[in-house]
Chains A and B, each alone.
Chain A
Amino acid sequence: MSENENQKVDHHLKSRRTFLKNSGLTVGGIVLGGAVANLLGVNTGGSSEHVHTSPQEPVSYPNEALMFFTMDQYRLTAAAAERIFPKDELGPGAIELNVAIYIDHQLASPWGANVKDYMQGPFYSPDQLQGTQLRLLRKDLFLLGLEGLDKYSNKKFKKNFIELEVNEQDEVLTDFESGEKYKLSGISSSHFFSMLRTLTIEGAYADPLYGGNKEMKGWKMRKYPGSYMSYTNDIQSNSFVEKKPQSLNSHMGH
């Protein structure tokens, strides 16, 4: 660790301690241990090699790579997500925020394989008030949807989705949203559309640790500060207090 970085850590820890002092965080009676003790820099026993790592702005993005999509699937996802959350005068859209990287990582995760969902049969078709009843896994539904986007674009405009004008792309997505114009192996395209929409919003606003919300630019657009330890001093203010966003990475020293 360079001297410079050491100073950075030092400064960071000091400001943390100042916060704790000011916030009146004390631990008496039964010691709760765990996170609070760690925040205070107390060694709770066990490991004597508690290492404070340095929270720092990443200079390169090693996770800007694919663990699920092919390059073509990635480009198609990026193009579709950009229509859900387009770049405009307010700031970046899905492409610049790395939403498609986020989606790739999510579909490769246990969530993409529905591991915490109830997946036992039988699968009956639900009435409108009952939850979705799909045997298909999320990762497979998403790929089916991407394939459908190109097939439907070709049917309607004789081109792949990525080659369409944006208004044509919007038409395709609108038809997918309605679910009435096109079926994905017998499943309504609206299931895919709704997943694409949700994943795009998540990719714009989830902590950057998941690969999207690049440089917290999603948060900056809406003045969301991310992850702070305390708002006690701001919450009663009659004017808006804008704060520089912080991600979970800033909690790694603890």
Chain B
Amino acid sequence: MSTKLPKVPVVIVGMGWAGGIIASELTKAGLKVVGLERGKARSTQDYSMGHDELRFQHRTELMQDLSKETITSRNNSKTRALPMRHYGTFIVGDGIGGAGSHWNGQTYRFLPYDFEIKTLTEKRYGKNKIKKGYTVQDWGMTYDELEPYYDTFEKMAGISGETVELYGKRSNPYPTGPMLKTPIMEEFEKATKKLGYKPYILPSGNLSENYTNPDGISRSACQYCAYCENFGCEYGAKADPVVTVIPVAKQTGNLDLRTHSNVTKIVNDGQKATGVIYVNTLTGEEFEQPAEVVVIASYVFNNVRLLLNSNLGKPYDPQTGAGAVGKNYAYQISAGGSTLFFDNKEFNLYGGAGALGIEIAEFTGDNFDHTNENFIHGAGIRTTQYGDRPIAVNRVPNGTASWGSEFKKQSIKYANSTFPVKIQGASLPHQQNYLDLDPTYKDAYGMPLLRMTYDYTEQDKEMVKYMSKVTRNIAENIGPDHIETSEEQAPFNVNKDTNTHNTGGVIMGADPQTSAVNSYLQMWDAENVFVAGASAFPHNSCFNPTGTLGALSYRAAEGIIRYMKDGGSLV
């Protein structure tokens, strides 16, 4: 039996970037908000022993406790999905700040091409360019419409970077200048310039200089200490909800933030939600929190799972293509990179930052001609310097034994003498890649787990072949002693792949038949439910998702404030 609490104007599920931004905007506008977070409270104090590779990276201290909930996965719908019992490929955040606490800080905008991908691809290459089975669709809004919200997000987070010609038009330059350029970045710069490309420094949520944002939050410059991904930033130099939007929301006095509160269901009648059910994860006590507006802002996986477990929205059917909840799950492409080995050169690779790197834009989106290619979209090609930590990074030439004397010698020889030219490629949705409920496995509260059915498609394999030639060419122009290039895309492996940019499942669009939410992230099937996060992306671009997630969250916040006044559909 759950205890019914007094009704509130707004309840938000999840206090990461999406939930934090919406909480901050709503509370500043005077609305009373209840924020429910399944994990614990967090401040920079929690990061003071943060330079601990074992605890944070390999024992995944900041991540979701898989004993309580996980996903199941399979490579196609003919096989049985099995639970991800421990971490491999994905790292899913938990606690105040969510994935915004442990992220690297790479903060891009998606391309104008992304938002109108179907229209623009067909216009340039004809109707048959997008092959059968690929459920590529426009986003229901343009880059120009989203631009002001990108601007707001970047100013709040203090993003450091430089304007790139080949990307969408900016109303303002980045609020802070680009990060430092290290010797390995200079190597990439020289080689790519020689090849006629225009390299640029990655846009970074690790501040290049001290910065005070429009909310009055002051943060200090990044120290290049090399503990970003998997770690929290004890300086507050990395943009994190914990040091930006959450304290702002708290300061208004309008945010009632409840930690250890895991939402299991959205209470609804199929037309509208009336609130949520949540469990105190410490005591097991169950509560019903009624609200006028319900905002679902947890991770991609749980956004989809909560809707399906609550019978809200129409579940996607991979046979007919009907329904939108669980549709267009997309990932990202990481094969195709080259690793450079130097026999007599050492770099200061122990230092770095999560968003320290250099990249070229020429192979992103539709910035190159795809007429003769069997794929669309593209990849960012880049060299990054996150800081090589000694348990995680032991790069040895292919053919080296994986243990024993030879492994020890080679891994120590190259400890400070290798760096990558790698790719991050776009992932296009396919009818057979989707999310639904697992028929067998349940979470700690008895609710079905989310089941992922996913594998790389022909489009991805073609892109990897193409991009591997580009990275090889750049690597050869840098001229190390030895280069290794991954030329093929292997099947998806939930243990071994390295990317954690999951998107889709509650996608936005202009058509209620093919999307789940409108461009304010308001559900077509329940006007007082907003579903925020990368779950709204109809496909995944070749950039890190947080910038776009942040922009959409600001847009959703504006929509919710309007909805509280006027009601009804916002489009």
Contact = CB atoms under 8 A, between A and B. Distances in A.
Interface string B62-89: 0001110110011100011011111010
A32 B243 contact: yes
A117 B234 CA distance: 28
Interface of A (DSSP majority class): loop
B44 A240 contact: no
B256 interface: no
A219 B52 CA distance: 13
A226 B50 CA distance: 12
Interface stretch (B1-9, B159-167, B422-430, B491-499): B491-499
B390 A231 contact: no
B282 interface: no
Contact of B75 (A33, A129, A230, A254): A129
Contact of B49 (A111, A173, A204, A248): A248
B302 interface: no
B85 A133 contact: yes
A122 interface: yes
Interface string A1-39: 000000000000000000000011111111011111011
A48 interface: no
A234 B348 contact: yes
Interface stretch (B119-127, B180-188, B326-334): B180-188
A237 interface: yes
Contacts of A170: 404
Contacts of A231: 223-226, 348, 350-352
Given A24-B210, A88-B408, A210-B54, A33 B45 contact: yes
Interface in B22-66: 43-49, 51-54, 58-60, 65-66
Interface stretch (A51-59, A69-77, A78-86, A151-159): A78-86
B225 A236 contact: no
A108 interface: no
Interface string A76-103: 0000000111101010010000000000
Contacts of A130: 73-74, 82, 494-495
B224 to A, nearest CB: 4
A223 interface: yes
Contact of B47 (A23, A35, A115, A224): A35
A235 B412 contact: no
Contacts of A173: 403
Size bracket of the B interface: 35 or more
Nearest to A200: B403
Contacts of B83: 118, 120, 131, 133
A207 interface: yes
B19 to A, nearest CB: 19
A226 B405 CA distance: 24
A232 B247 CA distance: 28
B234 A29 contact: no
A84 B69 CA distance: 35
B291 to A, nearest CB: 28
Interface in B489-540: 491-495
B495 A111 contact: no
Nearest to A223: B416
B415 interface: yes
Contacts of B236: 32, 36
Contacts of B182: 235-236
A28 B403 contact: no
Contacts of A222: 390, 411-412, 415-416
B408 A36 contact: no
Interface in B383-414: 385, 390-391, 394, 402-405, 408-409, 411-412
- Please list the 8 inter-chain residue pairs (A to B) with the smallest Cβ-Cβ separation, ordered nearest first: A231-B351, A34-B45, A230-B223, A227-B51, A222-B415, A205-B390, A34-B44, A240-B346
Given A231-B352, A237-B348, A248-B49, 5 more contacts: A28-B218, A30-B248, A84-B404, A129-B492, A205-B53
